[in-house]
Structure 1
Amino acid sequence: MTGSTRRALLFLDVDGPLIPFGGTGHREGPAQQGNEGDSGGNPLLARLDPALGARLTALRCDLVWATTWMDDANEYVAPRIGLPDLPVVAWPDPAEEDERAGLHWKTRTLMRWAAGRPFLWVDDEITPADRAWVAAHHPAPTLLHRVDPRTGLTDRDFAALARWVHDHP
């Protein structure tokens, strides 16, 4: 693309960041009416906050599913939170070398997928080893943001993501 900048990628995990494990709280109830028959067999989908899609879109990043849900994220998650179909990262078999290095099995694949673009990665399993490895090997700015899987994405998380996007246009 000549003369334009490409937006940062935002790699999204589902279990933990979008579907919290710490209880159902406000994420059940009226917001899920009409979806009861289309759960894909997963009762945890009722924990999705329907406002998440608008909040993620407002970050002005190119959203990408980075989840073991793969294409099911587009079928079962996206419509419940108001997102269109998104690109999906295809996962290779995890490499033993990543485990020995203390890296999450997604780390190298996400860097390859980003192909030098700035990116944010929202996941509940990010470690300091992942942050250090990406900082040493990726040429563009990155934010590896760990979300507490008990609560999922919170106002505080969205503030951190928005701050990073603002500081890395």
Structure 2
Amino acid sequence: MTHRPLLLLDVDGPLNPFRAPFAGLRGYRSHRMRPDVWLSYRDPESRSARRGARVRLHPSHGGRLLALPFELTWATAWTHQANTMIAPHIGLPGDLPVVEWPELFAQDPDGLSWKTRPLVAWAAGRPFAWVDDMINPLDRAWVAAHHPSPALLLRIHPRHGLRDRDFTTLGRWAREVTP
């Protein structure tokens, strides 16, 4: 059994800064992809569906994530396609665990992110860091009240994606909670 905390990683926002107008100037590379979740909201005959979604990824992010003292897990609506579509472009292995969502984008009665409750269940009491662009103060309070171990909820702005300071924060936090 591993003693490393979990790193629950979203794609859009942290890895794909989809709101960044000049991501290419910061080393991001643009790719066209057709993930199932994205296609489910489009007419299959539309020009948009044929072209695919523009996804910006930084080739160094995989190595930097692997260097952190975490057990990496995909926590994204891309589900298993993160292993086949995202991982090869950033240097991550294509067999990372994937959180299985009971329902994508489900409305929470308490205003939490649709991911919050399933992620706490997935962590099963283990320390975890959750990296996402959709984290809100209600999520932080709920996790603090319902998760018995340390948890870091790191909100990443979708205009910036993961930055140096985020990798520093993650590394520092993991070293503090690792026995």
- Judge same fold: TM > 0.5, yes or no: yes
**2:28 aligns to what?**
27
Within the candidate set 108, 130, 142, 1:133 is matched to: 142
Which ranges of structure 1 fall in alignment gaps of 5 or more residues?
Answer: none
Equivalent AA in structure 1 for residue 162 of structure 2:
L
Structure 1: 4+ residue segments shifted above 3 A: 38-43
Match status 1:90 vs 2:87: no
Equivalent AA in structure 2 for residue 27 of structure 1:
Y
CA distance, structure 2, for counterparts of residue 102 and residue 74 of structure 1: 29
CA distance, structure 2, for counterparts of residue 17 and residue 159 of structure 1: 14
Match status 1:162 vs 2:163: no
Match status 1:68 vs 2:77: yes
Within the candidate set 6, 9, 24, 2:6 is matched to: 9
Give the RMSD, CA atoms, in angstroms.
1.8
Could you report, residue by residue, the CA deviation over 1:7-40 in whole angstroms, capped at 9, with x for unpaired residues?
A: 1000000001000021332213xxx7xxx7x844
Aligned residues: 156
Secondary structure at the aligned position of 1:67 is classed as coil
Q: TM-score, normalised by structure 2?
A: 0.81
Secondary structure at the aligned position of 1:101 is classed as coil
Query: What's the % identity of the aligned pairs?
Result: 58
Equivalent AA in structure 2 for residue 13 of structure 1:
D
Contact 2:69 2:175 in 1 (8 A): no
Which ranges of structure 2 fall in alignment gaps of 5 or more residues?
Answer: 35-50
